[in-house]
Amino acid sequence: MEAQPAEPSTFGMLLYRAHRLARAHANDAARPTGIELQHAGVLSAVRAGGIHSQRELGAALGVDKSTLVRIVDDLERRNLVRRERSAADRRAYEIVITEEGERRLAEADELFAEAMTGLLEVFDDADRRRLHDLLSRFVAQES
């Protein structure tokens, strides 16, 4: 029997459902650390360096200003980041990851990886590589 072509109208919903499934599993797995994927995205971007202001951070992550402020406020309350006046622009603040933020992010990253490994068990190694390649090409359109 010949394979039927994939219906383009179903891709959006499948990607949305895959995102919800992966996010829920990752967040559940990392719950003991108090880090969710939205927190990890901010912490990882700050840890990677090169981003100095909250504005740059929002642009790099594609997060609107009010959402980013809420996330950074939450991380700051939990002593995972701190805001420091920028040496280059005294009107701006830099977001700096704390030692506690580094430690908890490392723990969460391990738990996120375990959660994704579990979800991806439905695929063999070749399928996982292919899925990764396809998704990488798909999101590269964003650039």
For the whole model, what pTM was predicted?
A: 0.84
Whether residue 103 is predicted with pLDDT greater than 70 in this model: the reply is yes
Whether residue 4 is predicted with pLDDT greater than 80 in this model: the reply is no
pLDDT per residue as tens digits for the range 46-94: 999 878 788 888 888 889 999 999 999 999 999 999 998 888 778 878 8
Q: How many CB atoms lie within 10 A of CB 30?
A: 24
Furthest CA-CA distance within the chain: 68
Q: What is the model's pLDDT at position 74? A: 95
Q: How many CB atoms lie within 10 A of CB 54?
A: 18
Domain residue spans of the chain: 24-142
Q: Which CATH architecture has domain 24-142?
A: Orthogonal Bundle (1.10)
User: What tokens does 77 get?
Assistant: 């309350």
pLDDT per residue as tens digits for the range 105-130: 999 999 999 999 999 999 999 999 99
Q: What is the model's pLDDT at position 53? A: 81
> Which of 22, 44, 26, 45 lies closest to 36, judged by CA?
26
Q: What is the model's pLDDT at position 142? A: 78
DSSP secondary structure code for residue 94 in this structure: E
User: Looking at residues 37-50, what average pLDDT do you find?
Assistant: 92
Q: Which residues contact 119 (CB under 8 A, 6 or more apart)?
A: 21, 22, 25
